[in-house]
Structure 1
């Protein structure tokens, strides 16, 4: 009998996703109108019937705890759980997680109580749908001590991945972590005989990249973590190649790293395409999230195209194109949104007198009448007043401004942010 324990790596401070990570852990960032990033790996694991899951994180964990506690509740007949393990001080260690391997090492005391035969390591900031059961079955059949999910990438993208080579039996022979562009890695190119066997190989994608998704036999995990090596990709796996059997699993499907503002924005908008690269409407492998029992969205005389809209929205006489509209979003009359990722709100605001902030009326939560927004991310509970123009006549230079941020050419209104009426950005 095999007993798989899933470990979702929540990452560090999430600086590449700042300011979306200013008040929340990276796995808790809202995504796809109604989900959180952590819902992706959790749903993949649950679909494979791997229901013993820990999420490791160490920064801004409150919203992540709340989301998981309200969402992943298994019945008493299911031997499963989803729990967050934040970095903690003990008598044996007092520091932060120093890397992915160090995070697992410092929590082995919790993992051992589940008596797993295997560990499955997943990343918390990737969008994909993988048959993890198939991955695990291939790992068992190969007789490997560890397996790494891989996919082909081009030379430019190779700088952000662990690049590896394999033999005809998929056994990994070399592993090079994030080779810089100036380094000659021609020797790591996929052989033509192997490229013909790869289901998702494309001309120009000449290197096999680690996806940061691993399976370890439990005894192997214990052995390789009996050291001070901090990271799987930089140290653990490269050092295993010569002495242990490590296999590659060729992934055939959509995969995207959404750990930066640019990739988060582009991937979010792609979900609203007529034929998106990632299909949210797969009934066989759904993406699970919190059930909120919200009313249906109400659209009053609107023009909407290539847009996702979640539950509980009220949109009136507005034009919206190529956008993602999150839960409980209120959009007033005469607004125009193009290329906007709006994360919505945590609650409905009771109507009443508007409070004052520095002598200015604070707008209600949502987007006020007559506002135009282009190429922007509007975080949760933002208040945007009437008659604003955001990104319509160009994007300001990169930087942190008083009420907004600009990252990768995208304007970001932060969580609980306030944009007074008539503001032009």
Structure 2
């Protein structure tokens, strides 16, 4: 059976991430902070390392500076190890002056660099999913079936079928058909792949393992195919041996503000379906060597609290408090994500200290890094489905987001009644 060192992992890190705006206003989507101290891409990179796949290429393009900085500071192998994490940035070449047009096009434009590695198999991954997965099991399934392509698949609830691309898998594990977000129940019936009345369907997770030569042939032979999920895989099902490998663990696609918000707040609960404490599968991130957080005369319930914070006489419920957060006395925070700060600088040109000033009342809000709230600021959620853009804040699906480095003056009110 082939060895894991014959696999090159290729992580998609170049998307614009418009559905996560304004969190992606100044950074690439995989660089968006999550769970107080991590970045979205940390999960995928950690899964590779924990699975024994040590050759990793990250394809970047949009707002990539912070992502490059995070990867180069964090994921460095020692001199006695043969592994590496390499950044393949979008570039103009004699063959192409265009940016990446999609996931498949991104890999196509980097085929020369990929072929130099002489890897026999290419594992294509997304950089914006939260999950813990042993890719070794998928690789063994791929090798055992001598598959041209293996797709990681997850069970889909019957009521969720219209939101997913569904795959039809035969008894031998081979995928025979694909349909994109079917709303017709008669069409849905043709794609039942599991003997489970609640979750009878299989959906793609956007994780693909290719034989390298098969990948090259598909990308060069069909230059108009820009995306793996909607172009390459549906075509390959008709011409190649494509198999579906089961994964029934926790998996979240952090593709929208609502998904980002809900997933973060899920992590605050004691019975959260995903946690960062697994001894066999740790999630790695940048080591910052920050002091422990200090909490003075405060009430905290269901709070995920990162390092380096100072909280004074505050009430915090069902919220994430990120690195170096400063929360003054009399503050109330509920159902919110506070990303913290990049440094301990306390004053800015506005005169407002970094962090949350006295007597602020926050609910249903995301505060990006380095936000400064003056005293007495009130922010409340809007009704679900509400979208709004202003100079100082954004509302997506009812969630209020204060963009990175924003200053909000004292006594400002951002509520449905005041806007």
TM-score range, shorter chain: over 0.9
**Do the aligned residues in 1 keep the contact of 2:385 with 2:396 (CA within 8 Å)?**
no
Cα distance change of structure 1 residues 396 and 284 upon mapping to structure 2, 3 Å threshold: closer
> Could you tell me how far apart the structure 1 residues matched to 2:249 and 2:382 are?
38
The aligned residue for residue 347 of structure 1 is 343
Partner of 2:188 in structure 1?
Answer: 186
Aligned to 2:117: 114
**CA deviation map 1:265-289 (0-9, x unaligned):** 0000000111001122111101100
Q: CA deviation at 1:350?
A: 4.4
The answer for the alignment partner of 2:412 in structure 1 is 423
Q: Which residue of 1 aligns with 2:249?
A: 253
Structure 1's 103 and 355: CA in aligned 2 closer, same or farther, altered over 3 A? closer
Contact in 2 for aligned 1:164/1:188 (Cα 8 Å): no
Distance 2:75 2:394 in 1: 33
Matched, 1:296 2:292: yes
* 2:215 is the counterpart of 1:221: yes
C-alpha distance in structure 1 between counterparts of 2:381 and 2:198, whole Å: 37
Partner of 1:206: 200
Whether the aligned pair in 2 keeps the contact of 1:372 and 1:392 (CA below 8 Å) is no
Tell me whether 222-231 or 313-322 shows the greater mean CA deviation.
Answer: 222-231
CA contact (8 A) 1:188 1:207 kept: no
* Counterpart position of 2:417: none
Deviation at 1:117, TM superposition (A): 1.0
Within 5 Å, give how 1:302-341 maps onto structure 2.
Answer: 302-341=298-337
- CA offsets, 1:227-286, max 9 Å, x none? 212111112111111221111001020111111000100000000111001122111101
The secondary structure found in structure 1 opposite 2:343 is coil
Contact 1:396 1:406 in 2 (8 A): no
Q: Does 1:44 align with 2:47?
A: yes
Match of 1:96 in 2: 99
Partner of 1:27: 30
**More displaced stretch, 207-216 vs 149-158:** 149-158
SS in 2 for 1:151: strand
CA distance in 2: counterparts of 1:375 and 1:410, whole angstroms? 6
Is contact 1:161–1:211 with CA below 8 Å preserved after alignment? Answer: no
* Per-residue deviation, residues 82-118 of structure 1 (Å, max 9, x unmatched): 1222211000111011111111110011111111011
Q: Structure 1: how far apart are the matches of 2:323 and 2:215? A: 41
Q: Secondary structure at the match of 2:259?
A: helix
Alignment of 1:344-383 (within 5 A): 344-350=340-346, 355-356=349-350, 362-383=351-372
CA contact (8 A) 1:336 1:370 kept: yes
How far apart, CA to CA, are the structure 2 residues paired with 1:158 and 1:78?
44
Change (3 A) 1:173 1:407: same
**Count of paired positions:** 409
The alpha-carbon deviation at position 10 of structure 1 amounts to: 1.8
Give the distance between the partners of 1:162 and 1:215, measured in 2 at CA.
Answer: 18
Match of 2:88 among 68, 85, 90: 85
8 Å contact 2:155–2:248 — kept in the other structure?
no
Confirm or deny that 1:173 pairs with 2:176.
yes
TM-score by length of 2: 0.94
2:239 counterpart SS class:
coil
In structure 2, distance between residues paired with 1:394 and 1:371: 21
Distance in 2 (alpha carbons) for counterparts of 1:81 and 1:231:
26
Cα RMSD between the aligned structures? 1.7
Are the aligned partners of 1:161 and 1:209 in contact in 2 as well (CA < 8 Å)? yes
The corresponding residue for 1:68 is 71
The one of 258, 261, 267 equivalent to 2:263 is 267
Could you say which residue in structure 2 is the equivalent of 1:404? 393
In structure 2, the partner of 1:282 is 278
Shift of 1:154: 3.0
8 Å CA contact 2:177, 2:234 repeated in 1: yes
Structure 2 unaligned blocks of 5 or more: 415-419
Any stretches of 5+ residues in structure 1 without a counterpart? 196-200, 357-361
The Cα offsets for residues 140-182 of structure 1, whole Å up to 9 and x where unpaired, read as: 0111111000012135533443311111111001022x22525
Q: How many angstroms apart in 2 are the aligned matches of 1:394 and 1:157?
A: 23
- Map of 1:17 onto structure 2: 20
SS of structure 1 residue aligned to 2:336: strand
Contact 2:374/2:408, CA 8 A, preserved across alignment: yes
CA contact (8 A) 2:381 2:399 kept: no
Tell me, what secondary structure is at the counterpart of 2:88?
strand
